[in-house]
Structure 1
Amino acid sequence: MKIRYCKSVIRNNYGYGLTMIGLGIFAVYINSSSVFSYLWIFLGILQAGTSYYRQRYQYLTIKEDKLIRHTIIPKSIALSDIRRVKKFMDSYKIETHNQSLRIEKNFIEKESLHKLNLFLENFKPKVSATLR
């Protein structure tokens, strides 16, 4: 199951990246000897690349045995290792015995957020004897 980003998040990041590239090209046109002009182009490419990555891989993937949050360095948690799911107003915190994963609700589209809520409501975390 894929938990998707809001389209507005991806679109805004992509637009911001293109704007930075445009400003960088304009700055190079005005003053090609300035390193900062090229920095704008580089940062714009990074921003647009991040937007492309988010569109391709989306926010979360829930497979049969693990949950993966896609970032530059993807973070995954085995579903069997989950000890606790904390629900906050604007996020979820999923904890294992040695790591945690925060899921921000603001980035998730409404339909995917509904799927995630159903999954977390039906999910029964494994509680060890040491936590009781």
Structure 2
Amino acid sequence: MTIRYSKKAFRRDLILGSVFLIFGIFFIAEEPDNVIRYGFLVVSLLHLISGLYQLKMPYLKLENGKITKGGLISKSIPLSEVVRIRKFAGDYTLYTSDKKLKINSELVNKTELNRLDELMRSIDVPLDETPPKDYKHS
């Protein structure tokens, strides 16, 4: 089972990459001798690469009893070692005896958010849900 990145995160990285690229080209054209101006191009490339990665690769992958969170440095946790799951503000944190894996729900594709909720509830460990705070308006 795979859970994809949200389109919002993908678009954000592509827009930021494009904006930094435009600024980088403008500043390099104005002052080509200033090395610091090339930082815009580096940041632009990082955002564009991140956006393309999010387009091609899944955010979460569940296979062989192991959940893997994608990214520059991927993290894996065997589901059999999960001792506790905490849900706070829509994000899930899976705990083992020595590791933790945080799943950011804003990076999950909205159409697959229900599948993520079902997956977390299917794991046979306690699920700590922090209830929304009740504000009293006067």
> Which residue of 2 is the match for residue 130 of structure 1?
none
Q: Quote the offset at 1:106 in angstroms.
A: 1.5
Structure 2: give runs of 5+ residues left out of the alignment.
127-138
Q: Quote the offset at 1:90 in angstroms.
A: 2.5
Counterpart secondary structure, 1:97: coil
Counterpart CA distance in 1 for 2:58 and 2:29 is 36
Q: Quote the offset at 1:76 in angstroms.
A: 0.5
State whether residues 13 and 48 of structure 2, in contact with CA within 8 Å, keep that contact through their aligned partners in structure 1: yes
Aligned residue pairs: how many?
A: 126
| CA RMSD between the two structures | 1.4
Could you tell me the percent identity over the aligned residues? 26
Are residue 40 (structure 1) and residue 40 (structure 2) matched?
Answer: yes
Counterpart secondary structure, 1:73: coil
1:13-55 Cα offsets, whole Å, 9 max, x none, are: 1111011011101111111001122110111001111111122
State whether residues 79 and 123 of structure 2, in contact with CA within 8 Å, keep that contact through their aligned partners in structure 1: no
Counterpart secondary structure, 2:5: coil
Counterpart secondary structure, 1:119: helix
What TM-score comes out, normalization by structure 1 length? 0.89
State whether residues 5 and 59 of structure 1, in contact with CA within 8 Å, keep that contact through their aligned partners in structure 2: yes
Q: What pairs with 1:105-120 in structure 2 (closer than 5 Å)?
A: 105-120=105-120
Q: Quote the offset at 1:64 in angstroms.
A: 2.8
Structure 1: give runs of 5+ residues left out of the alignment.
127-132
Counterpart secondary structure, 1:54: helix
Counterpart secondary structure, 2:73: coil
State whether residues 85 and 95 of structure 1, in contact with CA within 8 Å, keep that contact through their aligned partners in structure 2: yes
Q: What pairs with 1:38-77 in structure 2 (closer than 5 Å)?
A: 38-77=38-77
Counterpart CA distance in 1 for 2:2 and 2:63 is 9
Q: What pairs with 1:1-132 in structure 2 (closer than 5 Å)?
A: 1-125=1-125
State whether residues 84 and 95 of structure 1, in contact with CA within 8 Å, keep that contact through their aligned partners in structure 2: yes
> Which residue of 1 is the match for residue 131 of structure 2?
none
